[in-house]
Amino acid sequence: MEFRHLGNSGLKISEITYGNWLTHGSQVENDTARKCVQAALDHGISTFDTADTYANTKAEEVLGEALKGERRESLEIFTKVYWPTGPMGKNDTGLSRKHVMESIDGSLRRLQTDYVDLYQAHRFDTETPLEETMQAFADIVRQGKALYIGVSEWTADQIRQGVALSRELGFQLVSSQPQYSMLWRVIEAEVVPTCEELGVSQIVWSPVAQGVLTGKYRPGEQPPAGSRATDEKGGADFVQRFMDDDVLTRVQDLRPVADDLGLTMAQLAVAWVLQNDNVAAALIGASRPEQVEENVKASGVKIPADVMKRIDEVLGDVVVRDPGKTAELAPKRRPA
């Protein structure tokens, strides 16, 4: 496992980071989830990412239990706040001071830790003044409940505003967590250049495009039973944007590229996002320990420039690059 600095901070994290978005507390049984976490630890992953909203707080509980007994100083634990939790009342969502201050305490309790290494704004809250949110984050850092602050799916302008306020308030906003893959490159035009300028890293989610870049979905065929595209609990909704025969055909054309490098399709996809110098970590999920073992082999892989160009040629115009997608897909109001 290789490690990278998170933003311009002194914190190093594993470049393959374990995330439990659609698995812990929902898709897989707790015993399997614990085995996946142990597999991550066994293969050198030290960084774990979750959120209070995942499985309505259950994912944090599962992760906390799975990491129980590990040396805390050897781990980097990340979580997030914004989406609805609990009974989902009027103040159980967003980035108001009330919700942020209450949420960090709930997350720490569920994770069985005194602090998180990174606390992230899961989306931008259009209903709360940014100054209020950033002051709450500053207080959480001063209280020692979080060491660093990050954001997720914020636009370049929002990140710039957030960094400016964080500096005024005396804490570090060091990371952005966007979707990024060979097929979804909307951060490249604006978010990445802004973050490079400001000393902010990307922790990217869905590097295998919800499993599409593994090649398991084939054009003209029904999705395999039990795959994310058949998950009615929410997974299928995220895969649909890639379930187009043209996209799936281009993805199959990447097989010779992966074979030439001695990689699986999934390893190629994870290694590809790590070629971007602004990416500190690629988030991987797993429903089986074997998936962790496969994906960690992408750590340290260097893809030659001519192969990167070949990938671009194979995928062609199915790649989504529009930087406006970040704002377009962002919630316009707090979810109820």
Q: What is the DSSP string of 221-244?
A: SPPPTTSGGG-TTTHHHHHGGG--
Taking the CA atoms of 92, 96, 99 and 104 in sequence, report the sign of the dihedral they define. Answer: positive
Q: Half-sphere exposure of 215 toward its Cβ, with a 13 Å CA cutoff?
A: 17
Tokens representing 264? 């699986």
With tokens 């892989």, the residue in question is 301
Which residues are known to be catalytic? 54
- Cα separation, 288 vs 36, in Å, equals 6
Q: Which residues pair with 80 in a beta bridge?
A: 120
Nearest to 261 by CA among 216, 214, 207, 302: 302
**Reduced to 3 DSSP states, what percent helix, strand and coil does the chain have, rounded to the nearest 5?**
40, 15, 45
- Cα separation, 127 vs 295, in Å, equals 39
- Cα separation, 242 vs 100, in Å, equals 34
> Which residue spans within 152-252 are E strands per DSSP?
173-176, 201-204
Angle at 211 between CA 208 and CA 213, to 5 degrees: 55
- Cα separation, 164 vs 7, in Å, equals 15
Residues near 328 by beta carbon (within 8 Å), at least 6 away in sequence: none
- Cα separation, 192 vs 212, in Å, equals 24
Strands 3-5 and 12-14, sheet pairing: antiparallel
